Amino acid sequence: MARCEVCGNDYDKSFRVETAAGTRHTFDSVECAAHVLAPRCDHCSVRIMGHGLEYGGRVFCCAHCASAAGIAGFTDRIAAP
Ligand SMILES: [Zn+2]
Ligand SMILES: [Zn+2]
């Protein structure tokens, strides 16, 4: 049993996450892990659960948000051959 650092639940399926930077966390759910670890889009503030798009230290959830923030070059799709 380990207590989730976000909600305090002492749960038998809790898990630990160690980041590359060396910080350690304990969570009872992926939701609680995302609350702490997932970055937020620099434009719309949505929690980024996938890979996201990064430019100059700023992270975006999609090409639309990157372009709305004035960053050109990201695209949602490329032309099929
Ligand atoms: Zn929790
Ligand atoms: Zn966004």
Give residue 72's pLDDT. Answer: 94
pTM for the structure as a whole: 0.80
Residues with Cβ within 5 Å of ion ligand 2? 41, 43-44, 61, 65
| Ligand 1 centre distance from Cα of residue 28 (Å) | 5
For the segment 51-77, what is each residue's pLDDT rounded down to a tens digit?
Answer: 999 999 999 999 999 999 999 999 999
| Ligand 2 centre distance from Cα of residue 40 (Å) | 8
> Quick check: 14 and 5 in contact, CB under 8 A?
no
| Ligand 1 centre distance from Cα of residue 18 (Å) | 16
Contacts of 1 by beta carbon, 8 Å cutoff, 6+ apart:
10, 11, 12, 14
* Pairing mode, strands 53-55 and 24-27: unpaired
For the segment 21-54, what is each residue's pLDDT rounded down to a tens digit?
Answer: 999 999 999 999 999 999 999 999 999 999 999 9
- Counting every residue, how long is the chain? 81
Residue with tokens 């503030």: 45
Q: For the chain, which residues make up each domain, given as ranges?
A: 1-37, 38-81
